[in-house]
Amino acid sequence: ETESIVGGSAEPPGSLFLTPLSPTSMRVITATVFAAAASSGATNLSRNPIRRVVSMLQDMQKKIEAEGKAQEKAFHKFQCYCETNTKELTSAMVEGQAKLDQLGSDIEGAEAARKQTLSDLAGAKEDREEANKAIEDSEEMREKENKDFTSESGELKANIEAMGKAIPA
């Protein structure tokens, strides 16, 4: 159970038992008593001065208790706000850190994939150059073989023709 502003007394409001007050509360009470006494001078002459002071103190106690309850309510509202925001911020920080870690690993994975792709590209370029060189060599060899075939074929055709003429004769 929380303590009230008036000093945490368990006594009901309006009790004859007074609880210790803070210096600020005492100053407020004293100032109010003097102000009330000065303003009620002519109207309360018929009343007992002690009774007037007791009445003023009781009124002040009621006001202070009401202010204390209002402050306590505001404090609890603020405390709830702080706890809620602290939980939300902590949760957001944890999620942000997890996302940061995930993005860091994603970046590392992307860098590794990029390096692998560059390596594969360099290998593919080398393979393409080797293939182009092999094609050029094959074409040169084909041209040479074709040239040899054409010259040998022409020679063989001439021999066949000569044999064809020589046999019937």
pLDDT score of 169: 63
pLDDT score of 42: 46
Q: Rounded to an integer, what distance in angstroms lies between the CA atom of residue 134 and that of residue 44?
A: 123
pLDDT score of 36: 64
| CB-based contact 13:63 (threshold 8 Å) | no
Q: Rounded to an integer, what distance in angstroms lies between the CA atom of residue 119 and that of residue 127?
A: 12
pLDDT score of 159: 87
| CB-based contact 52:35 (threshold 8 Å) | no
pLDDT tens, the chain, 169 aa long: 344 444 444 444 444 445 566 777 777 777 776 666 666 554 544 578 999 999 999 999 999 999 999 999 999 999 999 999 999 999 999 999 999 999 999 999 999 999 999 999 999 999 999 999 999 999 999 999 999 999 888 888 888 888 888 887 6
Q: Rounded to an integer, what distance in angstroms lies between the CA atom of residue 154 and that of residue 12?
A: 134
